[in-house]
């Protein structure tokens, strides 16, 4: 097994290469944009929260081989794999850091020489249109990507606005220059994934069309408009679908050459050019969830010209503005880690509406977002923990729009449920819990969301009572999910209990006493899976007895998802005090945490995990998966809070590095990065839905949070060093902070927080 990493393609010096937005901004390291080695973060060009993620794909590994899942495909969740030696093409949609995938829409590849419409293989790239490349001739920055395609002697450059990708290809002199548009390619691809594609050649510089797929999103349609800076001299396509039995009467035309209307399941198109030495051909490629017309309007609105450098500069200025929302001083390596993490945190969720505010809803009808920006790509099992709380602090307007997008999702849902994993007018239902309720409750409690809170509460309650969804009925009846009902019964019970607590907090804020009473009772359901005789959470059967077969170290068949009982047994973020009591009091609880962080997991543990290796853990604590992300902070509920400070600093140093093997797990749409950002600043949201942040151990020297309300919150760290990991004292606005928590209101009011560090606890 390999470890899953973040690659930093190049290390830049301190300072800002894009334009500063304010003379007084602290210079920072430009984020180094790269990928995890196993392909879970893409290195291409995107705008902040952009609909377009324009990036290279380095292979065409199928999702299935001989009808069975192909484990090798896991490396290509984001399309790009650092160890690969060839690039197949550049596609326009990607997920960032997920452990499952889709997308990879509309691959474009420039070539020279005889036309080849097969991608070839990694072993024999010369047999197809792919090309060898070298990392020495590859550059990745925020909003910009560049690489030399060696086999075709073409310099490829990419940039993007929110809805439009812009390509710039510098060709050699050639009478056989081509640009290929692959409409059948995709990530996690398989036969019949593409339901249909359509292309209309409007003229010799413009084509439009759409693609419909059936994958992680069951019914996903993306429309496009593609414009060339130079007229093509000829064009054509090949349909690779040999299964199409009925072909109508289109045989009256030669549709493969210079025919303006093309449709099919497996289409690759080509456009022919003659080029002079160093001639640049540019492409603007716009996306829309609604129509070809809207895609063209998006293009005209966002890039009405052919100035590639202007688009690049504007997008990098946008990134510079976003990244300057938090300005830090730290060691060079932590500066790189921090701003790369902040970059990753601002990739998704992604804008999902056109410039005219139209978008396709979950009901597949066209809707208009009135007064908000509609978003998709909600990987909520990951991001409710830290990413959305980060947005409540430094992106509150965006997070309010994300909550409104979730409410719109609920209103359009035939099942009357909030999103579980929102994806292009679909819900792919991935992972456990109904964590949109935690995001909504957190936003309302912290004053971020300004919509109707009663409407939001109703959506939360209705979702939490959907009896036929993943054991909720049994959970409501018994207070736990029996092992016979679900293979992840314990995970679901624990996560539902936390979500129910979040609903209770929202109900309490809104003075809905009956709802509060109902859900605060449900929030205690975690107790039903705790077996005091062994000191662990474990599966319980229909008859109320615990399942006899039990292994606290195993991740297989034990009732958990992406974790074992050692990590999940601490998953009561909403009530650590009660958990401490259940586990024997503060001393015993601290000792159990000590064991977690110091144990040695057997090799058999890793045989069952696709996304975690030994490098991604500390003792038995798995940082590369999310369920235990709050656990290092639980020492704050014992008499040994200094151990939280020690472990947090250890994780910051061990699990995040500005190197090709720098991330100890999937970034999961920014969750791993958001953990780093919060923890670097010295505090962490253990239980979103509460105003409180738990104190940790800051790794920055200083930080300035430029808040959207116009106020500034400053963090000063005195005596900072690798040895001084312990917090000796904390001063907030000139007064000692006599607690291990900081509140959201205290941050949003602005002011100054001083940590005084020491090498002694």
Return mean pLDDT, the chain.
92
Structure confidence at residue 227 (pLDDT): 98
Structure confidence at residue 244 (pLDDT): 82
The CA distance from 118 to 124, in Å, is 11
The CA distance from 316 to 159, in Å, is 9
Min mean pLDDT across 194-203, 390-399, 447-456, 552-561 is at 552-561
Pairing between β-strand 64-65 and β-strand 53-57 as defined by DSSP bridges:
unpaired
Min mean pLDDT across 36-50, 116-130, 340-354, 450-464 is at 36-50
More confident residue, 349 or 608: 349
| Cβ 508 vs Cβ 501: under 8 Å | no
Mean pLDDT of 530-554: 96
Asked if the model's pLDDT at residue 606 lies above 80, the reply is no
Q: Which residues pair with 286 in a beta bridge?
A: 164, 225
Preceding omega of 470 cis (within 30 degrees of 0): no
Q: Tokens 């000139």 label which residue? A: 734
- Report the 10 Å Cβ neighbour count for 27: 13
Q: At what angle do helices 308-323 and 332-345 cross, to 10 degrees?
A: 110
- Report the 10 Å Cβ neighbour count for 79: 34
What's the pLDDT band for 10 if we cut at 50, 70, 90? very low
Q: Token pair for residue 561? A: 């998802």
Digit-coded pLDDT (tens) for 126-161: 999 999 999 999 999 999 999 999 999 999 999 999
The CA distance from 514 to 255, in Å, is 66
Mean pLDDT of 677-681: 98
List of residues 6+ apart from 35 with CB closer than 8 A: 6, 7, 41, 42, 43, 78, 80, 81, 82
| Cβ 58 vs Cβ 79: under 8 Å | yes
What's the pLDDT band for 22 if we cut at 50, 70, 90? very low
Mean pLDDT of 332-358: 95
List of residues 6+ apart from 304 with CB closer than 8 A: none
Among 220, 230, 226, 161, CA closest to 186: 220
What's the pLDDT band for 245 if we cut at 50, 70, 90? confident
Asked if the model's pLDDT at residue 395 lies above 90, the reply is yes
Structure confidence at residue 339 (pLDDT): 94
Min mean pLDDT across 107-111, 210-214, 549-553 is at 549-553
Among 564, 569, 571, CA closest to 687: 571
Mean pLDDT of 117-134: 94
Asked if the model's pLDDT at residue 39 lies above 90, the reply is no
Asked if the model's pLDDT at residue 37 lies above 90, the reply is no
The CA distance from 272 to 230, in Å, is 11
Q: Tokens 């020489």 label which residue? A: 113
The CA distance from 298 to 296, in Å, is 5
The residue length of the chain stands at 761
Among 472, 458, 466, CA closest to 506: 458
Structure confidence at residue 697 (pLDDT): 98
The CA distance from 599 to 325, in Å, is 39
Structure confidence at residue 679 (pLDDT): 98
Residue 382, Cβ density class (10 Å: 0-12 exposed, 13-18 middle, ≥19 buried): buried
Asked if the model's pLDDT at residue 5 lies above 60, the reply is no
Pairing between β-strand 267-275 and β-strand 174-182 as defined by DSSP bridges:
antiparallel
**DSSP, res 423:** -
CATH: 3.40.50.2300, 3.40.1080.10, 3.30.2080.10, 2.40.30.20. Which one for 325-758? 3.30.2080.10
CA triple 286-287-291, angle to 5 deg: 115
Mean pLDDT of 589-615: 83
List of residues 6+ apart from 501 with CB closer than 8 A: 519, 520, 523, 574, 575, 687, 689
Mean pLDDT of 395-410: 98
Please determine whether the domains at 45-321 and 325-758 fall in the same fold group of CATH: no
**What percent of the chain clears pLDDT 90, i.e. is strictly above it?**
86
340 φ, ψ (degrees, to nearest 5)? -65, -40
Mean pLDDT of 271-293: 98
List of residues 6+ apart from 51 with CB closer than 8 A: 162, 163, 287, 350, 351, 352
Q: Which residues pair with 139 in a beta bridge?
A: 146
| Cβ 180 vs Cβ 89: under 8 Å | yes
Q: Which residues pair with 170 in a beta bridge?
A: 155, 280
Asked if the model's pLDDT at residue 35 lies above 50, the reply is no
Instruction: Calculate Rg over the CA atoms of the chain.
Output: 26
Q: Tokens 């324009």 label which residue? A: 54
Mean pLDDT of 711-722: 98
Digit-coded pLDDT (tens) for 622-639: 998 899 999 999 999 999
Mean pLDDT of 491-513: 98
Element containing residue 636 per DSSP (H, E): none
Structure confidence at residue 33 (pLDDT): 62
Mean pLDDT of 230-249: 91
**What percent of the chain clears pLDDT 70, i.e. is strictly above it?**
94
What's the pLDDT band for 611 if we cut at 50, 70, 90? low
Class of domain 45-321: mainly beta
* pTM to 2 decimal places: 0.95
Integer CA distances (angstroms), 747 to 111, 505, 522, 696, 706, in order: 54, 20, 31, 16, 11
Give CA 167 to chain center in angstroms: 24
Mean pLDDT of 419-428: 96
Q: How far apart are the first and last CA of the chain?
A: 38
The CA distance from 605 to 199, in Å, is 49
Please report the beta strands in 172-219, taking only residues with DSSP state E, as ranges in sequence order.
Answer: 174-182, 194-201, 206-213
Residue ranges covered by each domain of the chain:
45-321, 325-758
Asked if the model's pLDDT at residue 215 lies above 90, the reply is yes
């Amino acid at each position: 097994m390999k470890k899953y990493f973040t690659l930093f393609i190049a290390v830049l010096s301190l300072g800002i290469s894009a334009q500063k937005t304010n003379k007084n901004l602290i210079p920072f390291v430009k984020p180094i944009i790269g990928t995890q080695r196993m392909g879970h973060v893409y290195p291409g060009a995107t705008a902040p929260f952009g609909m377009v993620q324009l990036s290279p794909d380095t292979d065409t590994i199928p999702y299935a081989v001989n009808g069975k899942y192909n484990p090798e495909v896991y490396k290509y969740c984001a399309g790009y794999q650092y160890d690969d030696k060839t690039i197949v093409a550049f596609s326009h949609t990607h997920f960032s850091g997920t452990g499952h995938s889709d997308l990879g829409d509309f691959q474009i590849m420039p070539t020279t020489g005889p036309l080849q419409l097969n991608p070839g293989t990694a072993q024999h790239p010369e047999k197809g249109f792919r090309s060898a490349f070298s990392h020495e001739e590859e550059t990745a920055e925020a909003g910009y990507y560049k690489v030399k395609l060696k086999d075709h002697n073409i310099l490829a450059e990419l940039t993007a606005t929110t809805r439009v990708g812009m390509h710039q290809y510098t060709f050699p002199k050639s009478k056989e220059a081509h640009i290929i548009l692959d409409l059948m390619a995709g990530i996690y691809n398989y036969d019949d994934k593409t339901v249909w594609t359509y292309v209309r050649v409007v003229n010799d510089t413009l084509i439009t069309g759409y693609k419909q797929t059936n994958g992680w999103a069951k019914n996903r349609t993306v429309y496009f408009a593609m414009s060339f800076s130079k007229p093509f001299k000829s064009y054509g396509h090949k349909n690779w679908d040999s299964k199409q039995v009925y072909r109508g009467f289109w045989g009256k035309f030669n549709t493969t050459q210079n025919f303006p209307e093309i449709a099919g399941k497996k289409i690759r198109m080509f456009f022919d050019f003659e080029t002079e030495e160093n001639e640049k051909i540019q492409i603007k490629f716009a996306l829309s969830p609604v129509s070809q017309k809207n895609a063209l309007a998006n293009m005209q609105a966002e890039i009405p010209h052919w100035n590639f450098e202007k688009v690049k500069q504007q997008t990098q200025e946008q990134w510079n503005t976003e990244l300057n929302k938090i300005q830090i001083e730290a060691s060079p390596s932590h500066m790189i880690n921090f701003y790369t993490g902040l970059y990753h945190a601002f990739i998704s969720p992604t804008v999902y509406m056109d410039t005219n505010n139209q978008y396709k809803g979950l009901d597949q009808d066209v809707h208009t977002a009135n007064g908000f920006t509609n978003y998709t790509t909600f990987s909520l099992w990951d991001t409710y923990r830290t990413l959305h709380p980060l947005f409540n602090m430094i992106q509150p307007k965006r997070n309010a729009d994300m909550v409104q997008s979730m409410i719109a999702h609920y209103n359009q849902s035939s099942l009357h449920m909030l999103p579980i994993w929102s994806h292009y007018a679909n819900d792919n239902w991935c992972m456990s819990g109904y964590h949109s309720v935690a995001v909504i409750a957190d936003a309302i409690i912290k004053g971020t969301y300004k919509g109707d809170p009663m409407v939001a509460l109703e959506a939360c309650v209705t979702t939490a009572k959907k009896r036929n969804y993943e054991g909720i009925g049994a959970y409501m009846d018994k207070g736990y999910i029996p092992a016979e009902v679900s293979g992840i019964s314990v995970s679901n019970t624990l996560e539902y209990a936390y979500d129910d607590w979040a609903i209770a907090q929202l109900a309490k804020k809104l003075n809905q006493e009956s709802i509060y009473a109902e859900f605060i009772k449900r929030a205690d359901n975690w107790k039903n899976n705790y077996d005091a005789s062994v000191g662990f959470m474990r599966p319980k059967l229909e008859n109320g007895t615990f399942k006899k077969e039990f292994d606290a170290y195993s991740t297989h068949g034990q009732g958990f998802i992406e974790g074992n009982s050692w990590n999940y047994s601490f998953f009561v973020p909403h009530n650590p005090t009660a958990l401490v009591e259940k586990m024997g009091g503060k001393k015993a609880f601290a000792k159990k945490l000590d064991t977690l962080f110091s144990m040695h997991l057997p090799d058999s543990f890793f045989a069952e995990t696709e996304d975690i290796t030994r490098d991604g853990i500390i003792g038995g604590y798995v940082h590369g998966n999310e369920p235990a992300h709050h656990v290092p902070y639980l020492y704050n509920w014992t008499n040994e809070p200094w151990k939280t400070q020690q472990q947090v600093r250890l994780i910051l140093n061990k699990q995040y590095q500005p190197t090709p093997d720098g991330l100890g797990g999937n970034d999961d749409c920014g969750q791993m990065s958001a953990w780093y950002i919060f923890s670097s600043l010295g505090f962490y949201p253990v239980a979103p839905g509460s105003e409180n942040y738990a104190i940790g151990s800051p790794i920055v020297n200083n930080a300035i949070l430029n808040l959207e309300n116009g106020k500034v919150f400053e963090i000063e760290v005195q005596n900072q060093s690798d040895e001084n990991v312990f917090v000796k004292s904390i001063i907030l606005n000139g007064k000692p902070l006599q607690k291990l928590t900081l509140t959201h209101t205290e941050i949003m009011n602005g002011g100054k927080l001083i940590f005084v560090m020491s090498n002694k606890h």
